[in-house]
Structure 1
């Protein structure tokens, strides 16, 4: 049985038979990139030890980098433990020794990671989730790798084609800077059923191009490209098992409250709501109380940009909570719901929604993914409600799983 896919074997053969300074693997999620670099990391540790022996260096240093300690553990160290039973012993700084090489963990998610990358010479580095790294920290890591024969490997999912990682380190294939691109179909260990299911569930446009095809594409045009009025607008509503709400504050631009219902099959519906301009907080309190009287003491997931309004809702005994405002993750969650036909809109429910849904677009010519701050008021409230409630449900499920595992251990 083959241990590697054809693409993984191609990359590993290149690394084995060629020298390089920076080598990157980028492309679709679940395409096998990180596993290749985890194997490469172990091989590099052996190679660094051999170089150090020739140079009489007692304890050479190597950088293991990721956005945070959690991401390094989840993406790399846990996989090494599961596959090779490697369980490092950490010092008080989070460093560990592997095959006589001291591995220094560097966190790249913010500029604060710079202090961990300074002041020493490294014989190589492995940078996970490179597109999420702070550029200054990423380049400082490379500058640290001045030990003899030092090599840097990185992996990343695609981002905007104007991203510094794409412009500086992809497509060069010269002067020791090499890269390989992966698509989801390259992972032949995944079942055909799984691959087809993921493709069917991935929203069209940016998300499909990046997550499935592994392309560094511009997020341009309409955001919710899978929305179809013939499918997603309904006149009749089923019986709901619960309701919850989203709130986007506004004055000059539209403020909005949306009410989402969920049936016993997990389908969700925009069932009620309002969008208005030039209304004071007293007016919004009155509207929220009307919805509370109609739908019960439901949770209102509110924009935290106006904490005084959130507090006012709470003082009025309205169950307001700060929404999770992660823009891209939230948009992807809503887009996926439309793609899978899990989200429906009651026809005519909030007139402003139907103005926004086709005009909510990505910001053109931007160096990062961001929507235009136009036609987004009802859609922001809807995103706050759906994504925040989903995250809360996920956490609840994880807590239940932990309790079950604890019970199983106690009664074994």
Structure 2
């Protein structure tokens, strides 16, 4: 069920008359639903010609945009054909595409478009966006997009949003440029969490508590701010480190960061009977300290012995549901498979999304770490954003002493769908 738009969300739909129209700001602030309503209107009334819908991947586009459209219009009016690169909405055929790397621009070469809908625009390569602009060549063509804020030096902010002809600001005021020659035919709509009055108070509170530092400023306050300082700034040894691991209802995952010259780190993660996450044990080999490099076969033996010897509440040996391995370590995964290790899979290596998953677990006070995990506990307080990369508009961690923290990211982010329901307020999830 969707509540009728009001306030800033309604005003944005009335102002979305430029060639480009972008809703940006906090999560769950109402920007997505407003943009979808405008897109539905455009499908019905826009100029004839080919249309395109884009997401970071086709999967995220379906989850974020197409599925809500099905709820709004019904399955008979929204026919998504997975794998075909097409969706029919209100009888109109629309191409769909993912745009998560530099090769994405090749997907739309040669198209002549009458309109486009763009989800998570900041995740696209600039080359894709510039190619898309050239494809929108039908007279009267428009594009409509959504995004969460990134750094102030991101290409979308510097090259486009800063030059928008009209800006509906976070405080609700409207600013129009006085220099049309220096502006773009772009309308920018900035949203904060409070712009969505339909959110339950308990859900808003859980959102604010589960986001910390950089992610709080961007996803709750809607700020375009630099990634700087300690990444997991909510981590508190007094709060998040435990001497005893309670009864575990499920050994969920092991996250492995592979290293030969650099340290090899594996972390065992379980879900307690208290519905919290625990990093219970760490296996780590640093060839620089040991003065001895190990082979894939030796690492496989080491990991299996570590899991077989782990004792918890009188029981010896654990078998996690999943073992998520650094995807670049193809030969090690092959070794594990040949040794018959179950549950081995490539980890999801989306760095920023993975950091956000870990940050959410820490910020929501959902994650505890056993004191024996010394490598992880040494790395967490010193894990920082790369300031030089941030100046170039890129969010990435400084690649120093990041082996156990990477293992934690692999284990938690790759299994996020299996523990997301444990977050406070998860049962109050609503569309926005």
Instruction: Return the TM-score normalized by structure 1.
Output: 0.81
The equivalent of 1:238 in structure 2 is: 246
- Contact 2:283–2:303 (CA<8 Å) still a contact in 1? no
Q: Which residue of the other structure, out of 316, 319, 326, is the alignment partner of 1:298?
A: 319
- Structure 1 unaligned blocks of 5 or more: 50-58, 396-412
CA deviations on 1:320-373 (whole Å, 9 max, x unpaired) are 6133333222222222222222222222x1333332111111111323221111
Larger fraction in strand: 2
The equivalent of 2:64 in structure 1 is: 75
Q: Which has the larger radius of gyration?
A: 1
1:280 paired with 2:270, answer: no
The equivalent of 1:36 in structure 2 is: 34
- Contact 2:379–2:404 (CA<8 Å) still a contact in 1? yes
Q: Give the Cα–Cα distance (whole angstroms) in 1 for the partners of residues 298 and 88 of structure 2.
A: 59
Q: How far apart are 1:68 and its partner, in Å?
A: 4.2
Q: What number of residue pairs does the alignment pair up?
A: 380
The equivalent of 2:365 in structure 1 is: 341
Q: 1:324 to 1:146 in 2, by over 3 A?
A: closer
The equivalent of 2:388 in structure 1 is: 365
Q: Which residue of the other structure, out of 375, 384, 394, is the alignment partner of 2:401?
A: 375
- Contact 2:3–2:198 (CA<8 Å) still a contact in 1? no
| Corresponding residue SS for 2:248 | coil
1:94 paired with 2:96, answer: no
Aligned pairs for 1:70-149 (under 5 A) are 70-85=59-74, 87-88=77-78, 94=86, 96=88, 103-111=94-102, 113-115=104-106, 117-149=108-140
- Contact 1:220–1:364 (CA<8 Å) still a contact in 2? yes
> What is the aligned-residue RMSD (CA, Å)?
3.1
Deviates more, 1:312-321 or 1:132-141: 312-321
Q: Give the Cα–Cα distance (whole angstroms) in 2 for the partners of residues 60 and 205 of structure 1.
A: 44
- Contact 1:129–1:154 (CA<8 Å) still a contact in 2? yes
1:201 paired with 2:210, answer: yes
Q: 1:359 to 1:45 in 2, by over 3 A?
A: same
- Contact 1:96–1:103 (CA<8 Å) still a contact in 2? yes
The equivalent of 1:184 in structure 2 is: 193
- Contact 2:121–2:147 (CA<8 Å) still a contact in 1? yes
Q: How far apart are 1:14 and its partner, in Å?
A: 2.2
The equivalent of 2:180 in structure 1 is: none
| Corresponding residue SS for 2:410 | helix
Q: How far apart are 1:315 and its partner, in Å?
A: 4.0
1:168 paired with 2:159, answer: yes
Q: How far apart are 1:11 and its partner, in Å?
A: 1.0
Deviates more, 1:153-162 or 1:67-76: 67-76
Q: 1:33 to 1:290 in 2, by over 3 A?
A: same
Q: How far apart are 1:391 and its partner, in Å?
A: 4.3
The equivalent of 2:19 in structure 1 is: 21
Q: Give the Cα–Cα distance (whole angstroms) in 1 for the partners of residues 332 and 10 of structure 2.
A: 56
Q: 1:136 to 1:119 in 2, by over 3 A?
A: same
CA deviations on 1:51-99 (whole Å, 9 max, x unpaired) are xxxxxxxx44444333444444443344334324461568987365858
Q: How far apart are 1:212 and its partner, in Å?
A: 0.9
Q: 1:68 to 1:272 in 2, by over 3 A?
A: closer
Q: 1:277 to 1:89 in 2, by over 3 A?
A: closer
The equivalent of 1:56 in structure 2 is: none
CA deviations on 1:224-271 (whole Å, 9 max, x unpaired) are 111111111222332333445332222332222333343212223333
Q: Give the Cα–Cα distance (whole angstroms) in 1 for the partners of residues 187 and 226 of structure 2.
A: 23
Q: Give the Cα–Cα distance (whole angstroms) in 1 for the partners of residues 27 and 256 of structure 2.
A: 32
Deviates more, 1:142-151 or 1:25-34: 142-151
| Corresponding residue SS for 1:362 | coil
| Corresponding residue SS for 2:244 | coil
- Structure 2 unaligned blocks of 5 or more: 166-182, 288-292, 311-316, 422-432
Q: Give the Cα–Cα distance (whole angstroms) in 2 for the partners of residues 382 and 356 of structure 1.
A: 11
Deviates more, 1:132-141 or 1:216-225: 132-141
The equivalent of 1:404 in structure 2 is: none
Q: Give the Cα–Cα distance (whole angstroms) in 1 for the partners of residues 410 and 248 of structure 2.
A: 20
